[in-house]
Structure 1
Amino acid sequence: MDALELLRLVMRYAHLVGFALLLGGAIAQYLTGRLRINSAMLWGAIVQLVTGLVLAAPLRGGGDDEPAPAKLAVKLVLAAAIFAMVFFSRRRDQVSQGHFLATVALTLVNAAVATFWR
């Protein structure tokens, strides 16, 4: 295994940890009955965005296993929207139910795009 492959695997692992932080933080917050953006959600969105950008970088030289540019663009738009929704409302004592559930829904849609779009 070369260094670039190791970097890709570490970034993929960190990307999954970011997803777990984002979704797990949202579920934990939802169960409290107080809809707000917690630090786990913020850090999850940051990790997802940064590691996603690193994973999308053309480091491997192309080939059939490279994700389609359209898929990467969709995932970037979703990740940027999630990050904006979390970052700009992180200091509010409470967010609307629609805002909170849209953040969760976009997180799940982003994971679905990653999983099902081949």
Structure 2
Amino acid sequence: MDPLSLLREFLVLVHLVGFALLLGGWAAQAVRRRYVTTTLFRTGLGVMIASGLLLAIPFPAGVHLDYLKLGVKLVVALAIGGAFGVVITREKAGRPTAGAFWTIGALAVLNAGIAIFWHGA
């Protein structure tokens, strides 16, 4: 395996770890019925976005990328970040956060679903 292919595979691993942190941290809070964000799953989102952007670089040569799919996934990830902002703002104001909290989980699962089920032409 050439070095660029190995680097790409490593970035996929990092991307999956970011997703695991995001959804795992979210699920841990959901099970406890504590509808607040934690550093764990906020970090997961950052790792997911950063590694996803690096994976959008067409390396090694010959890698086919579906930029429409990647764009949709980026928009969903940014929407998750927006929902984080809503939850954090509501936490500070002492207002209910459940709706935005559940939105984070739904969008995270949607993003994974896009990755798995969207097959380009």
TM range (shorter): 0.7 to 0.9
Where does structure 2 lack aligned partners over 5 or more consecutive residues? none
For residues 52 and 103 of structure 1, what CA distance do their matches in structure 2 show?
18
Q: What pairs with 1:36-115 in structure 2 (closer than 5 Å)?
A: 36-63=36-63, 66-86=64-84, 89-90=87-88, 92=91, 96-115=97-116
SS in 2 for 1:60: coil
Please, what TM-score do these two structures have when normalized by structure 2? 0.85
Matched residue pairs, number? 116
**CA contact 2:87–2:100 (8 Å) conserved in 1:** no
Where does structure 1 lack aligned partners over 5 or more consecutive residues? none
For residues 87 and 53 of structure 1, what CA distance do their matches in structure 2 show?
21
**CA contact 2:84–2:100 (8 Å) conserved in 1:** no
Identical-residue share of aligned pairs (%): 40
* 1:109, distance to aligned residue in structure 2 (A): 0.4
Please, what TM-score do these two structures have when normalized by structure 1? 0.87
* 1:8, distance to aligned residue in structure 2 (A): 0.6
The one-letter code of the counterpart of 1:37 is T
Deviates most, 78-87 or 89-98: 89-98
Report the counterpart of residue 4 of structure 2 in structure 1: 4
RMSD (Å), alpha carbons: 1.8
